[in-house]
Structure 1
């Protein structure tokens, strides 16, 4: 059984997806012509529309009330729709978010809740506008509880933004769906843009306005009312600079502040405060107490960073860190005895978030001639205050006009009462003889020359008001209203008087809400100079490097044969020196890696792979290690303007028979993890050995090749390179042959020990194999080949400890 449907009306057919009927005997309607537009222009247009929407409707605050749209809608919904005034009960945050999202702000609930939470956090807002009940997050970076668990209402200061809304002081516009109206801007009674500041990122621009002290900002406004052309330098006598809710020290001179506030952008240095707390026990060590932290930095992040410094032993003077904070910040740093707290804090300010740079960007929306259109501009301090004061002056003027209109309406009613009170009997007779309210109104208007509003008020009058004494009350009220109206008329007639009223209201706000400054402006100070070694305890230590690339630091070593090594590993090198001295590691790929002996991890076991200290390439391994302790090797700093390599010089020999000398002076200071180059190698070649530094010209470089040849060359014959290079031919090799052993002989009787492929050990005396650089050398064996050099046993360092 089919169910019939009523025929569709013509205007309903498109909505139901039906095609309109073809006209009888006519042709089908022609489709509209498609409009062709270049893709680039259309993409540009749509992107600009999106950017404009983000700038004006989401990311940037208005210069007049200092609020972003979401913040403005939250405050308005709490006051107008939910009646969450300061004397009301708390309501669930979910109710606030739902009202704002459903009526005014059609975006995600999480963004609305985050904005409301920010308005309630006293460590974010200098003057919070929302009173939160429940977990609204913490300065440690803890997230707030879900909106279903927290409650909120407005603070008294928020009412200073909203209290004049019902007096036609600002313009209104329809909400997103046109079902209700919302204010374009709130009639703020104080410069909220500077007091609470704002952070925002739009498309192609951003804003970063730090918070300021309410009392100081109002003082600057009052000074600007008194002297409109006041310079920014003079304004800074009232506004000392940003005033962050978390306190701290602002390191900026007045000249630097003037530059930032004049340009509307810049950077200011902010750091936490500390004090020294002496121990109760004389044998104890003093403690550093951090009492404030920089704005927008999580306290937990600072504590963790300081703990990392302690664990990495980069600051030996610092023993421990504890967070004993409650509502006030109290981070305790334990020091070793005889430590310099100034140096410790100088290090922490440089390497932890205890000191930050606060970016200032005074970009905001400025109204145009059209009430609902604003444009983004970067303003200076004078322009921000001037815009607010002009807005405040306009708001006060519109408020007075509204109040005067209300007074005149009331005076008009009272004048009607005054007319009829002398003829009450006649009025009663007219009403009794009339046929209804409308008839009575017409007769009263004709008899007493009253208006409709006056007649309506008379007819609604209660009978007890007809008593004889009530006329005195009416006359007294009428006199008061007329006097008040005269005052308002005088205010409207005088621009100067209205400015005085604005000034007085600002001072009243200052008396009610201002508090003391929290951030200290200390200007530029000189930090104590320190070097990294200042924080290293000077003590002698030994560093042991194994052939497989394991390195460790030990306090002392007497016999290297007893040190712990992995199976099959051997000691490649061992050095001694102060923990403040540098140690250089030379690799087979021509790089030198330098660190302080203190940075080598201490260990009583195998040690750590050298790759933990440096960033090595594929196939790269260490071939030598030398100490730069002055007692082992004196390496003065490089001379200015020197072109020739300066001593001490080291000798580098490659597998391909190349050799050269290079200066160790460029390598005396710690390097980065990537190291510094000291050699540039031919393809397939590698550095075979870096011979002990300090070689004299008369010392002999002994080398042996795999084909059984040996050669001794004076060190003075090798080129001295000023930078990384390949050197020159030390020993000419046949194709496919390689050097297998080398050493530096300090005299002609010293030998180079090699082993043949048949296991025979040979000692090659320097005077027997001496020759010219670049030669093939002396043939030592004819049928055998050299397999390897016999390494000299590494002995424990003989550095005399201090």
Structure 2
């Protein structure tokens, strides 16, 4: 019976005093029927959730430290071995038959859960040492799912015998199955340290486990050493256990000290990366061949990531990607001529799942002396797990020897009965012939020869040829041999050193039979050297141009001869053209007061329309670019910038905080009031003048120095008072006396005007300004694309 059912029964018994047979959740106000007992919802929810949590932890998600199996795995192996006789030398049977045989009497949690566990135990890329021999499509490293269980077949692997063979010798306890119709083992008498050998992963309620697989021969050596010296430390045990050994290979980057800490505490992160080789091409050049990938990484997803990097030219060192894998992993990356493979691999390790972390969590169920049927969850270290397994093996061997001893004693008891009657065969035959039947003969033989019922039953069932002289000698010799074996087994049970020697001998047998495979995962005792990725080294030292349009499209092109001739969507126009090195940064200012900094190289190259700027950054609804600036060091770089909002607020802010790359969310440079937004951002100096134009043609010219400089993002100060229904449409910044720079616009009455800083008298900020066209409004501002070329263009 499950823990949940037991807890429910206890609760019902307590509530049964009220005469109810209900579930205890009916409200006091009504409902329920059948004598339901009212209960507080909070109490019932707490009780049932705890019952559920306990059930998941102890009966589903966590493995037992002794056999390393979860309940579903244990039931699959036991059902295949005991009910279906699907040993390694049997004929394959349909997985559908196996699933049904397990779900019916043992695991009532659905066929999907059983089949998924069965499939995993057959996958050589999931388990280091598979326990099930699958026949058919059992999935692939590319993430392909296994075929439906009506199409696949299976049987046990030979290794599974080591987990199951001693079941018939009463080596472990059994418990009733979920419906009490038969029994199942609480734990399997495993001869192999399966918990560490194959590892496992599971998520319970409030806890989880993630145990990596290890090499069987290393575990056997460590266990043998621990038998010889129980005072060994984890550091000393790592002389034999080099580290995890994943079925997909790879290379572990952790140092010896880091691994020691993981195995001492039972948790930590193992850094794992795929391996590669270099191959020379006949036509010249080299190609990188990925020969292994990290554990649990989907190969097809990894190859797709490689392809995306090549397609988007994020890694120009690689020109082609091919997946030539068969049974072994072989992913080919063709290198550009004279390209550095170290630099290419450093980029792939940093930006793809070719290097991952395996988060170790050695949590499992340990034996509970008070309740042998339910384990206690506990996080263990390496030594504790090994010691639990050794103690378990010692108990299994003791119980096996005791079983053999009991069987020998049973046989000796029968043989002693034969020995008694063989000395008086004629009399025994006469008694049997004179008796009235089997029961009468048994009574007379018991009385005459002082036998018990077991002995008499064996004598009466004995075949006549057993009375021959030679057969009598055989019985006497067997009795002598059996008595000798009993003495040996009794002496063995009393000798702890000899029992531990038996444990060591069996470990040596397991190692010789299954531990000869080579280690698949490389471990460097000093910690492997991690490749450092230098993003600058991948960027070509050449110039480019970034085109930003009014509708928010952005693209990178090699050169721009005429901004008006670049390819645009219908109705769109070029707002800004930025020039700079591919290694230089550029900054984009949005109408919501956020600055986004990226590299020229990170802007997608395009001969078409380009990409929406929202693809590069995390924009809010309605956010758009209002200004941009190249940060190439060859261009003049202002110290301060000025932003004006449509409600006439102005703020000066430094450029310095916006020189370095930002995240996709950008950095704030200004705060805008409700319903307000930035209309533009321009470089300024303290002696400059600024002219501001509103939609109703109001214009104001003031000194930039009057606009406060902000230390951090803020709303600024009023530059021009804007009437209700009016708004700022543009502004111009220029030194005093400069009448060339200005804002050209056309009004709704058809007038073409220009606002420059010399047009009106310089006044203080905060006024309403001058009306440039009475009872008129701005129809369109003639903004020419902003383009500042580099002083010296590089030549390829």
**TM-score past 0.5 threshold:** yes
Match of 2:715 in 1: 726
Match of 2:639 in 1: 648
Please say if residues 133 and 150 of structure 1, whose CA atoms lie closer than 8 Å, have aligned partners that are also in contact: yes
Provide structure 1 residue ranges, at least 5 long, that are not aligned to the other structure. 1-30, 635-646
1:797 aligns with 2:786: no
Q: CA RMSD in A?
A: 2.9
Question: Is the alpha carbon distance of 1:39 and 1:485 closer, same or farther for their aligned partners in structure 2, counting shifts above 3 Å?
Answer: same
Match of 1:42 in 2: 44
Match of 2:597 in 1: 594
Please say if residues 769 and 778 of structure 1, whose CA atoms lie closer than 8 Å, have aligned partners that are also in contact: no
Match of 2:86 in 1: 84
Question: Is the alpha carbon distance of 1:750 and 1:528 closer, same or farther for their aligned partners in structure 2, counting shifts above 3 Å?
Answer: farther
Please say if residues 753 and 761 of structure 1, whose CA atoms lie closer than 8 Å, have aligned partners that are also in contact: no
Match of 2:319 in 1: 319
Q: Which moved more, 1:593-602 or 1:33-42?
A: 33-42
Match of 2:270 in 1: 268
1:586 deviates by 2.2
Match of 1:209 in 2: 211
Q: Which moved more, 1:742-751 or 1:756-765?
A: 756-765
Match of 2:653 in 1: 662
Q: How does 1:97-176 map to 2 (within 5 A)?
A: 97-176=99-178
Equivalents in 2 of 1:781, 1:203: separation in Å?
72
Question: What whole-Å deviation, never above 9, does each CA across 1:516-573 have from its counterpart, x for those lacking one?
Answer: 2222223544434334333333322222223333333222222233223344433222
Match of 2:662 among 663, 671, 676: 671
Question: What whole-Å deviation, never above 9, does each CA across 1:14-39 have from its counterpart, x for those lacking one?
Answer: xxxxxxxxxxxxxxxxx997644333
Question: Is the alpha carbon distance of 1:465 and 1:305 closer, same or farther for their aligned partners in structure 2, counting shifts above 3 Å?
Answer: same
1:735 deviates by 6.5
1:778 deviates by 8.1
Q: Give TM-score scaled by structure 2 length.
A: 0.88
Equivalents in 1 of 2:406, 2:730: separation in Å?
107
Please say if residues 195 and 213 of structure 1, whose CA atoms lie closer than 8 Å, have aligned partners that are also in contact: yes
Match of 2:249 in 1: 247
Equivalents in 2 of 1:557, 1:415: separation in Å?
109
Match of 1:68 among 67, 70, 74: 70
Equivalents in 2 of 1:736, 1:103: separation in Å?
79
Match of 1:465 in 2: 466
Equivalents in 2 of 1:359, 1:78: separation in Å?
33
1:743 aligns with 2:735: no
Please say if residues 756 and 785 of structure 1, whose CA atoms lie closer than 8 Å, have aligned partners that are also in contact: no
1:305 deviates by 2.1
Match of 2:575 among 572, 576, 586: 572
Match of 1:530 in 2: 533
1:328 deviates by 0.9
Question: What whole-Å deviation, never above 9, does each CA across 1:611-634 have from its counterpart, x for those lacking one?
Answer: 333333444333322211222245
1:621 aligns with 2:624: yes
The number of residues matched between the two structures is 756
1:610 deviates by 2.7
Match of 1:502 in 2: 503
Question: Is the alpha carbon distance of 1:609 and 1:185 closer, same or farther for their aligned partners in structure 2, counting shifts above 3 Å?
Answer: closer
Tell me, what secondary structure is at the counterpart of 2:469? coil
Please say if residues 575 and 785 of structure 2, whose CA atoms lie closer than 8 Å, have aligned partners that are also in contact: no
1:490 deviates by 0.5
Question: What whole-Å deviation, never above 9, does each CA across 1:200-224 have from its counterpart, x for those lacking one?
Answer: 2222222222222211222222222
Q: Which moved more, 1:201-210 or 1:788-797?
A: 788-797
Question: Is the alpha carbon distance of 1:659 and 1:428 closer, same or farther for their aligned partners in structure 2, counting shifts above 3 Å?
Answer: closer
Q: How does 1:345-424 map to 2 (within 5 A)?
A: 345-369=345-369, 370-424=371-425
Match of 1:555 in 2: 558
Tell me, what secondary structure is at the counterpart of 1:349? helix
Equivalents in 1 of 2:630, 2:461: separation in Å?
106
Please say if residues 577 and 785 of structure 2, whose CA atoms lie closer than 8 Å, have aligned partners that are also in contact: no
1:457 deviates by 3.2
Question: What whole-Å deviation, never above 9, does each CA across 1:677-708 have from its counterpart, x for those lacking one?
Answer: 222234454433322x3x44444434455666
Equivalents in 2 of 1:793, 1:141: separation in Å?
50
Please say if residues 546 and 572 of structure 1, whose CA atoms lie closer than 8 Å, have aligned partners that are also in contact: yes
Q: How does 1:6-25 map to 2 (within 5 A)?
A: none
Question: What whole-Å deviation, never above 9, does each CA across 1:399-439 have from its counterpart, x for those lacking one?
Answer: 11111111122223333434444544454444444444444
Question: Is the alpha carbon distance of 1:718 and 1:117 closer, same or farther for their aligned partners in structure 2, counting shifts above 3 Å?
Answer: same
1:59 deviates by 1.9
Question: Is the alpha carbon distance of 1:453 and 1:313 closer, same or farther for their aligned partners in structure 2, counting shifts above 3 Å?
Answer: same
1:599 deviates by 2.7
Equivalents in 2 of 1:605, 1:301: separation in Å?
29
Please say if residues 307 and 321 of structure 2, whose CA atoms lie closer than 8 Å, have aligned partners that are also in contact: yes
Equivalents in 2 of 1:290, 1:226: separation in Å?
42
Q: How does 1:441-480 map to 2 (within 5 A)?
A: 441-480=442-481
Tell me, what secondary structure is at the counterpart of 1:114? helix
Tell me, what secondary structure is at the counterpart of 1:600? coil
Match of 2:608 in 1: 605
Match of 2:514 in 1: 513
Equivalents in 1 of 2:257, 2:786: separation in Å?
63
Provide structure 2 residue ranges, at least 5 long, that are not aligned to the other structure. 1-32
Equivalents in 2 of 1:733, 1:104: separation in Å?
79
Please say if residues 719 and 767 of structure 2, whose CA atoms lie closer than 8 Å, have aligned partners that are also in contact: no
Tell me, what secondary structure is at the counterpart of 2:642? strand
Question: Is the alpha carbon distance of 1:72 and 1:795 closer, same or farther for their aligned partners in structure 2, counting shifts above 3 Å?
Answer: closer
Please say if residues 252 and 528 of structure 2, whose CA atoms lie closer than 8 Å, have aligned partners that are also in contact: no
Please say if residues 289 and 333 of structure 1, whose CA atoms lie closer than 8 Å, have aligned partners that are also in contact: yes
Tell me, what secondary structure is at the counterpart of 1:300? helix
Please say if residues 733 and 776 of structure 1, whose CA atoms lie closer than 8 Å, have aligned partners that are also in contact: no
Question: Is the alpha carbon distance of 1:559 and 1:236 closer, same or farther for their aligned partners in structure 2, counting shifts above 3 Å?
Answer: same
Question: What whole-Å deviation, never above 9, does each CA across 1:22-64 have from its counterpart, x for those lacking one?
Answer: xxxxxxxxx9976443332233222222222222222222222
Please say if residues 287 and 333 of structure 2, whose CA atoms lie closer than 8 Å, have aligned partners that are also in contact: yes
Question: Is the alpha carbon distance of 1:439 and 1:532 closer, same or farther for their aligned partners in structure 2, counting shifts above 3 Å?
Answer: same
1:397 deviates by 1.0
Match of 1:491 in 2: 492
